Structures are given as C-alpha cells and as structure tokens.
Amino acid sequence: MKKNLGPLGAVYPMPVLMIATYGEDGTVDVMNAAWGMICAENKIALFLDEDHKTTLNILAKKAFTVSIADKAHVDAADFYGIASGNDMPDKFARTGYTAVKSGFVDAPVIDEFPLVMECKLEQIIDSGNVYAVIGNIVNTAADESAVGEDGKVDPEKLNALIFDTFRAGYYTVGEKAGQAWQDGMKFMDK
C-alpha cells in the first residue's frame, strides 16, 4: 500500500549540474543546479530563476558550460549551491578550483569536474510559470579517467553525483542494472 506524501516533486535521481559562466568583468561564476536535463540530442534545458547571477551572465555572454559533479568534489559542488554569486562575488575563488576558457564558447571549464558540456545560448523560454535556458551543446569533453576502453564515458568511472529530493542528500550512481533498447525486447513479440 502506498502512503500519500502530498504534492512532492518525486523525480529521482536528479542530476548535480555545475553551470559555469563569466561575468561581464570576466569573473568566474559557478552554480549548482538539479533542475536540468537533456532535451534533444545536442540540447540541454536548465530551469533557473531569472535573477541568478548565472542566468544574468548567460544572457550577457550567450554561453555557459555544464559540468557533472562527482563524489571527489561534493564539498565544492554543494558550496556552489549554497552561496549566491549575487551576494558573494568571489564564490568561485574561495574553492581554489581552476577554470580555463573553453575553446568553443565564451565560458569557463572547471578543471576539477570530470565531464563538461560547452554550450551556446539558443533560447530562453519564459512562460510565466517556467523560466528555461536552452543551450546548444557544441562540445563535450571528459577526463580520460572517466572514459572506458571503448572510448565512451563510463558511468561507474565518472562517479557522478545525484541529488536526493526526498532527504536533500547526495549519492553516487550505482552499478549497471540493465541494457537500454535491449532488455525490454522480450515484450515486443507478445
């Protein structure tokens, strides 16, 4: 029997996305966002507040990067969600992390995070109920330590964080449970 929990957004797992931008003065800003997802093969949607420093930077620079946070960097990833760039201009510098300019867009790549998508602003959707930043992914780069022998990102090596909306915890992606586009084939001929 199920227990009623009320109107709870119960999508699990949620990603732990590090959105990095440059301010107009060149200052690096990084924020932690769980409300984001791939919305097409080469597009990402980020659901952000209009007044975030990151959102303002994206509008000014028309570019951003999205990194996947990993277990080794959970402390900084959490800090980037706690501190506001509007109130703490040296937020990124406090972590001692390293940013290098993307070779594809006018945005920083944070060296410490193992996977990054470099994005150009494609569209803002403001429906009054939802504010979404849509980015065109122009390049994805991964640390060699997160890539398997087949040349693809290995989720177990990536050690990506996921956000638990139920208890506000961070977890890591676990073991492989099945093969997409294969395990369900047994139902096709019934």
pLDDT of res. 9: 86
Q: What is the pTM of this model?
A: 0.94
Ramachandran region of residue 36, left (φ > 0), alpha (ψ -120 to 50) or beta? beta
Q: Which residues of 96-106 are buried (b: 16+ CB within 10 A; e: fewer)?
A: ebebeebebbe
Tell me how far apart the alpha carbons of residues 178 and 6 are, in angstroms, rounded to a whole number.
32
Strands ordered across the beta sheet of 14-15: 14-15, 161-164, 169-172
Domains belonging to the chain, first-starting first, are: 14-187 (2.30.110.10)
Strands ordered across the beta sheet of 115-126: 28-33, 17-22, 63-68, 115-126, 131-142, 43-47, 36-40
Would you give per-residue pLDDT tens digits along the chain (190 residues)?
999 999 988 888 899 999 999 999 999 999 999 999 999 999 999 999 999 999 999 999 999 999 999 999 999 999 999 999 999 989 999 999 999 999 999 999 999 999 999 999 999 999 999 999 999 999 999 999 999 999 999 999 999 999 998 999 999 987 888 999 999 998 998 7
pLDDT of res. 123: 97
Q: How far is CA 29 from CA 39, 68, 90, 97, in A?
A: 24, 16, 8, 11
Given CA atoms 160, 75, 31, 82 in this order, what sign does their dihedral have? positive
Cβ pair 180, 25 in contact under 8 A: no
pLDDT of res. 142: 97
Type of residue found at 60 = A
**SS3 state at 109:** strand
Cβ pair 71, 44 in contact under 8 A: no
CA proximity to 137, closest of 48, 36, 8: 36
What's the maximum distance between 2 C-alpha atoms anywhere in the chain? 62
| Class of residue 92 by CB neighbours under 10 A (exposed 0-12, middle 13-18, buried 19+) | buried
Cβ pair 28, 108 in contact under 8 A: yes
Tell me how far apart the alpha carbons of residues 147 and 177 are, in angstroms, rounded to a whole number.
19
pLDDT of res. 79: 97
